[in-house]
Amino acid sequence: MMPIMKKILNRTETYVILTALLFGIAVEAVSGQFFSNTGMINLARAVMVYLVFGITEMLSLTCAGPDVSYPALASLSAFITASWFGSASYQGSIIVPFLVCMAIGALGGMINGYIMARFDFPSLIVTLGTSSVFSGIMYGPLKASNTILHGTMAEFGSINMIAVTNPENGLKANLPAQFLIVTVLYLIVFFLLRYTMFGRGLYAIGSDKAAAERSGFKTGRIIFLAYTLGGTIAAIGGFMYTCNVGAISPSDLMGGEMIIIAACTLGGIRPGAGIGGLFNVIIGVVLLIMIQNNLLMLGIPLYFQDVFTGAIILLGTIVAINSQRSRNGIKKNG
């Protein structure tokens, strides 16, 4: 029993989940709405797009390091798609703009992947550069501006999967049908990471790239595929966000990379170390969005939110690193 408890207490996920539960209980005590049906639906709606972007960031963090280009790529992909298919004149299938957006994202991801695989530059430097390129194209030649959606894309964003009403106060909440896209993405990526050579190679590269090459993994190809997949998924996130709000605002997603990097790190993913998975993304994103959206409920002023969030991230990172060191010590002693 004791070894099992020690193993549980040495896992980052344990502390993240406990923190989320304690925070939820505190908000519930103040508002009485957090664990209600509308509270849970609103939380799911709030984390939906962040969970998609979390996959992109996890793929990069696992094998190389942070990707700071995905918000610009997601915005560029969504803006081009909305420019072509977001007017009332397009009444065709939603599948066409969806696939076009994915293709644009994949192309941007290929650029990142090729540079990373070919020249072995640090991911932060590469994606910082491509982020400027993507945003420059969007605001320069394309002259991006806020645009209201009409037609098929607007209709797709208005479709709800679940609608609930709180019996106590009459408040209503809706969960968009796009949440199904999030579910499907997680199932696909889970399969790729768990049951394919691509997934095993991704973690092997993060643990030790030289050892992965000696083991026969084609590291360049795996990195290229990881960033291509990440770019595709980032574009899906941009498409979902645009349809959900019913407009394309190119600046809305810019700067969001820090939230996702922080959430992944908080959840237990170690940058460039081959440690972490989709479950770590989920718990990290859920906790961080919970904190950001509910601090005012606890009476914490708006200007203290960043301080509080930063403190939680630092604490979570310290716990995660200490837990990993403890596990390594146990393995060595064993």
User: pLDDT tens across 169-219, in order?
Assistant: 888 999 999 999 999 999 999 999 999 999 999 999 988 899 999 999 999
Q: Dump pLDDT digits (tens) for 50-64.
A: 999 999 999 999 988
CA distance 44 to 61: 24
What is the Cα–Cα distance from 278 to 95, expressed in whole angstroms? Answer: 26
Side-chain half-sphere CA neighbours of 14 within 13 A: 12
- pLDDT of 259-275, one tens digit each? 898 888 888 888 777 88
CA 156: distance to chain centroid? 22
Least-confidence region, from 157-161, 244-248, 300-304: 300-304
Please give the helix or strand (H or E) that residue 148 lies within, else none: strand 147-148
Report pLDDT for 320. Answer: 55
Query: What SS3 string covers 151-210?
Result: HHHHHHHCCEEEEEECCCCCCEEEEECCHHHHHHHHHHHHHHHHHCHHHHHHHHHHHCHH
Task: Give the pLDDT of residue 180.
Answer: 96
Per the prediction, the chain carries an average pLDDT of 88
**Measuring CA to CA, which residue among 38, 41, 2, 12 is closest to residue 280?**
12
Length of the chain: 334
Q: Is the pLDDT of residue 7 over 80?
A: no
pLDDT band for position 333 (cuts 50, 70, 90): very low
Question: What is the reported pLDDT for 312?
Answer: 64
**Considering only 92-101, 148-157, 254-263, which range has the smallest mean pLDDT?**
254-263
Residue-level pLDDT at 313? 64
Residue type, 44: A
pLDDT of residue 331: 46
Q: What is the DSSP letter of 300?
A: -
Query: Sign (positive/negative) of CA torsion 8, 20, 314, 259?
Result: positive
Average pLDDT over residues 63-84: 94
Query: Whole-angstrom Cα distance, residue 273 to residue 5?
Result: 25
Give the 3-state secondary structure of residue 120: coil
> Rounded to an integer, what distance in angstroms lies between the CA atom of residue 183 and that of residue 240?
13
Given a contact cutoff of 8 angstroms between Cβ atoms, the answer to whether 71 and 261 are in contact is: no
Please check the confidence at residue 298 and state whether its pLDDT lies above 80.
no
pLDDT over 60 (residue 68): yes
Judge contact between 206 and 85, C-beta under 8 A.
no
What pLDDT was estimated at residue 332? 46
As to burial, measured by CB atoms within 10 angstroms (0-12 exposed, 13-18 middle, 19+ buried), residue 140 is exposed
